[in-house]
Structure 1
Amino acid sequence: MIYTSTWETLEYFISMSSYKSVISIVVFFALQIGLWFALKRFKNKFLHLFSGLVLGLVYGVIIQASVGFPESFKEGGAWKSEYQWIADLDNWSVLFKQIFIITITLLMIPLIFLSIYRAVTKKSSRRLGRVTAKGVAFLMVNVAVAFIIAAVMGILIKVGVTSDGSKVLDQIAASEPSSDGDDKVAISSIPAMIVDYLPKNVFASLAGGAVIPVIILALIVGLAVKFISKKSPEKVVAFSNLMEASWEIVLKIVNGFIKIIPLAIMSIVTNLMITQSLTALTAVAKVLAAAYVSLFICAIYLTAVLAITRIKPHTWWKQGWRPPYQGLVTQSSSATLPFTMKSLVDEMKVDETCVSTIIPLSTTMGMIGGAGAEGGLIMSLLWTGSDSGAIHDQGIVLFLLLGLIMTMIISFGIPGTPGTSTLVITSLLNSLGVPSFKNAAFQIMLVLEDIFDIGRTATNILAAMVVSTIVAFSEGMISPETEILSKKARMHQAKINSIKTLKDQRYEELDKLKVKFIPENSTTVPKKQKAEYVALTKDIKTKYRSELKSIKGSKS
């Protein structure tokens, strides 16, 4: 008995319960080592990005085929004994996935803090408020568009109706006890939400995973440094240098981890393939089809928006496809954040201020896939999958309108990490007053969670990149060296920048005039001096309006 217990403990510790475990794990790491050396020899970017994906898919399918593509690997939440060796492989194959995601997550908070800080302390930060407002507004519009697309698509193909015409949610709900009142998620009021977002403790905010408190903290620090630097720049030189050095260090670490992305991708894909029942996925094929068709339409919509704003879609996609692809395999918007920012700034030449503001925000609010498409799909599943009066008595328009409103509210707090379905389903069903369908919805949506999360994350990242690009373009914050702007777009942006320069000149002239005629500590100003100041101010404003009219009247 003692030996048996010791052996079982050892098996658990080394996660190798049989010769099958040993062989499968050794083969997996042999493939990883071979991939590493192959990539060091071949520098092709396409090979670097897709080799891990292909190897992971092939190895995962081989493992599935070796056990006959079972309907389920688990029973009662635990691995079936005959598949224990796959569980062991799962424990080991997830290693690089966890190392990669944990490291990137570790860097995410300092990266966000430093990027926002640098954006605020830049001279161009006067436009930061407009950039933020436009970014949030556009992200929320995307949520609404995705919700409508997914809801309409789901209703059209009747995602909640089985091949024999049965209502799937009613079937599942009838076979299970009601879950009313279980695990309810309260929707916070706007004041409560604002209070929750405020940083309570400097170190706790930086150590936690919440993004918005870090952004607020970075804004406070950045504004304080900027204010001090105007009057006593020497006092913040050391701190500014420290922040710049920290930024360089974080970027260096990020660039170092880019090298192991293929290994992480292989690990992630293998893990996905050996833990998902391909047979079970066929049972929810209609829902999965609706989900991916909706995401595809969302991608078309985003591409169309680029074209409408006179940005070259082909060139944009050519330079911006890598972050969404990385999102496909990492299943985390947060994990790809540094690569998304790098792609926009280095390749598309989008201003860092804009990117550093919108991209971090997009990992915690306004997700087109994680909130919009997910919410719309759930609403269509409720409408088509049940005959409940609680759903149908209010009519389809009101039902979807309520769902849209609640989805947009929920979208302010959805994290850019895997597994957002649970949060969206629970929040949405409770807020709509139909929590009894929660377990039924879980049984359908969670089966395809990982598969749906692949496309959902990629679309989230794509939307964030498009929003950053368009907001930057609207503010004239894309470098003339970029290749993504059409000729008309360049002319339009040149006009925007001319107006910006004109405004800056006006502010500068007015500030100088004020310093000259109205001393800082003076309580009274002689009438003659004040009259001269007013006259000169009027001249500056008249000149500004005239030049502004001339610029706006020119062709763009």
Structure 2
Amino acid sequence: MRKRKPLSMSIQIFVAMILGIIAGMLFGKSIAPIKLLGDIFIRLIQMSIVLLVMGQVIEAVGSLNIKRSGKIIGQSVVIFLISSLAAAVFGIVMAVLFTPGAGASFSGAAKSQYTAGKMPGISQIILDFFPNNVFDAMAKGSIVQTIVFSLVFGLALSLYVHQEKATHLLDTLREINSIVIRMVGLVMKIAPIGVFALLAATTGQMGLTVIKPMIKYLGVYGLATLVFLGLWLIVIGLVTRLPLGALIRRISRMSMMALATTSSAITLPVALKDTKTKLGVKDEIAQIVLSLGMSLNSNGSAMHMAITLVTISQIYNVQYSWGTLAYVAVLATLASLANAVVPGAALVSLTIVVPQMGLPIESIALFAGIDWFVGMLRTILNVDSDVFTSLIVGHWNDALDFPKEAALVEDGV
């Protein structure tokens, strides 16, 4: 008798969400003590966040061979940062316009240090990006300062590795990162229990109002992703003068793969092949840009974190000024650099940014059950933006030869 495959983590979490909502409706406020299990789950994720963020960013930057392909890397990183910041800003604008979190009016509103009227000046905000003591920043869980230190350390590591021809530290770091990711994976095995407990307690306290924001949130997030991809295509058309109809057809296979698998890593081989053969980007450009993009370019992740932070603030009636929203955009952009390939990446990402804005950590459970749908939107934007970046870099370096339709048919591509 053939063994049944275990349910995927996304399905388990989705089922846990449904059961948690049902349990909350059935037992009401009497189920509140079960929240302890959810709080333990969140803390287990949080305990490794600083190590996860530092390790991923340092490894990504430290692995770059800046001397060999400095120009290509430099151009790619600039586009990555601009496009990820633009994605975060666009997500914020969409959330402000359509207010997916409005109307929930949950009690126990967050006491954010960034509520309107309490935001520090722009010079202080910029200064606060830079730690004066990295250990103090780590102890306080200041993710922005931790990432800035990791970027500088990673750059120094890259120069050291390629000047001294010594890779032992980088190899050790890779092993540590693998262990940390495995540790997060172990914690994520109990995610269904944690999500069930948090949603049961929340639903028992709030009632079915917990569901309404999620439906609207997914609609707004989906629309934001679709429109942003359209804006990306317009930029590609203006820069490269490529026919957009043909471009859309030729990225369709990798886009469908991204949607189906919700994994940039699994989609990478298909994206690499189609970028070279269907789009005509030269081998070196495609390999460098798409490989870099796996770690350093996360338009989808930046938009996801930005739009989710604004949604949570609306759910808990936390009012943010435009200056605060600008900080949210920068935070989401920097945090997207640490977008590790771990099970339940959406949950892990939110655990990084939600506490930074003083929002209730338990609010993450509201988004856990729709992780699979969120993953689809994040992944297609992540993958397609990597490919679009390779087209621009290829065009700038005269390494783009967009094949004609007849050539594709003849070669069977």
After TM superposition, the score normalised by the length of structure 2 is: 0.61
Note the alpha carbon deviations across 1:483-524, whole angstroms, 9 max, x for none.
xxxxxxxxx69x93xx79xx7xxxxxxxxxxxxxxxxxxxxx
Letter in 2 for 1:187: M
CA contact (8 A) 1:109 1:209 kept: yes
* 2:26 equivalent to 1:65: yes
Name the structure 2 match of 1:142.
87
CA contact (8 A) 2:351 2:364 kept: no
Q: Which runs of 5+ in 1 are unaligned?
A: 1-40, 68-72, 74-82, 161-167, 169-181, 321-342, 383-401, 426-445, 477-491, 504-547
CA distance in 2, matches of 1:419, 1:241: 28
Name the structure 2 match of 1:206.
138
* 2:57 equivalent to 1:116: yes
Letter in 2 for 1:207: A
CA distance in 1, matches of 2:57, 2:190: 27
CA distance in 2, matches of 1:98, 1:360: 30
Corresponding residue to 1:266 among 173, 192, 196: 196
CA contact (8 A) 1:112 1:215 kept: yes
In structure 2, the CA distance between the partners of 1:408 and 1:302, relative to structure 1 (3 Å rule), is: same
- Aligned runs of 1:134-173 on 2, under 5 Å? 134-153=79-98
Name the structure 2 match of 1:314.
256
Corresponding residue to 1:294 among 220, 224, 228: 220
CA contact (8 A) 1:139 1:368 kept: no
CA contact (8 A) 2:16 2:369 kept: no
In structure 2, the CA distance between the partners of 1:460 and 1:316, relative to structure 1 (3 Å rule), is: closer
Name the structure 1 match of 2:150.
218
Name the structure 2 match of 1:356.
295
CA contact (8 A) 2:259 2:380 kept: no
CA contact (8 A) 1:288 1:452 kept: yes
Q: Which runs of 5+ in 2 are unaligned?
A: 106-113, 234-243, 272-289, 336-349, 405-413
CA distance in 2, matches of 1:123, 1:422: 29
Letter in 1 for 2:5: K
Note the alpha carbon deviations across 1:316-362, whole angstroms, 9 max, x for none.
21011xxxxxxxxxxxxxxxxxxxxxx32244457453232345995
In structure 2, the CA distance between the partners of 1:421 and 1:357, relative to structure 1 (3 Å rule), is: closer
CA distance in 1, matches of 2:141, 2:300: 13
Corresponding residue to 2:118 among 170, 186, 196: 186
* 2:412 equivalent to 1:412: no
Name the structure 1 match of 2:388.
474
CA distance in 1, matches of 2:300, 2:130: 15
CA distance in 2, matches of 1:292, 1:366: 10
Question: Alignment partner of 2:48: what SS?
Answer: helix
Q: Give the deviation of 1:59 after TM superposition.
A: 5.3
CA distance in 2, matches of 1:137, 1:456: 28
Name the structure 1 match of 2:308.
370
Note the alpha carbon deviations across 1:146-200, whole angstroms, 9 max, x for none.
4554455469xxx78xxxxxxx9xxxxxxxxxxxxx9765333443222211122
Name the structure 1 match of 2:280.
none
In structure 2, the CA distance between the partners of 1:408 and 1:377, relative to structure 1 (3 Å rule), is: farther
Q: Give the deviation of 1:209 after TM superposition.
A: 1.9
Q: Give the deviation of 1:296 after TM superposition.
A: 4.0
In structure 2, the CA distance between the partners of 1:61 and 1:377, relative to structure 1 (3 Å rule), is: closer
* 2:277 equivalent to 1:345: no
In structure 2, the CA distance between the partners of 1:376 and 1:51, relative to structure 1 (3 Å rule), is: closer
Q: Give the deviation of 1:258 after TM superposition.
A: 4.2
Name the structure 2 match of 1:239.
169
Letter in 1 for 2:136: A
Letter in 2 for 1:211: I
Root-mean-square deviation (CA, aligned residues, Å) is 4.9
CA contact (8 A) 1:121 1:226 kept: yes
Letter in 2 for 1:369: I
CA contact (8 A) 1:114 1:243 kept: yes
CA distance in 1, matches of 2:54, 2:354: 24
CA contact (8 A) 1:120 1:222 kept: yes
Letter in 1 for 2:384: I
CA distance in 1, matches of 2:376, 2:175: 30
CA contact (8 A) 1:150 1:374 kept: no
Question: Alignment partner of 1:112: what SS?
Answer: helix
More divergent stretch after superposition (115-124 vs 287-296): 287-296
CA contact (8 A) 2:61 2:151 kept: yes
In structure 2, the CA distance between the partners of 1:204 and 1:64, relative to structure 1 (3 Å rule), is: same
- Aligned runs of 1:432-447 on 2, under 5 Å? none
Percentage of matched positions with identical amino acids: 13
CA distance in 2, matches of 1:318, 1:288: 21
Q: Give the deviation of 1:137 after TM superposition.
A: 2.6
* 2:105 equivalent to 1:105: no
CA distance in 1, matches of 2:201, 2:368: 13
CA distance in 2, matches of 1:360, 1:202: 27
Q: Give the deviation of 1:217 after TM superposition.
A: 1.8
Q: Which has the larger radius of gyration?
A: 1
CA distance in 2, matches of 1:405, 1:241: 41
* 2:1 equivalent to 1:43: no
Question: Alignment partner of 2:141: what SS?
Answer: coil
In structure 2, the CA distance between the partners of 1:129 and 1:465, relative to structure 1 (3 Å rule), is: farther
* 2:205 equivalent to 1:275: yes
CA distance in 2, matches of 1:378, 1:263: 24
Matched length: 336
Q: Give the deviation of 1:106 after TM superposition.
A: 2.5
Q: Give the deviation of 1:269 after TM superposition.
A: 3.5
Note the alpha carbon deviations across 1:114-166, whole angstroms, 9 max, x for none.
222222232455355444433343234334444554455469xxx78xxxxxx
Question: Alignment partner of 1:200: what SS?
Answer: coil
CA distance in 1, matches of 2:324, 2:218: 22
Name the structure 2 match of 1:89.
34
Name the structure 1 match of 2:275.
none
- Aligned runs of 1:479-498 on 2, under 5 Å? 496=394
Letter in 2 for 1:98: D
Q: Give the deviation of 1:111 after TM superposition.
A: 2.2
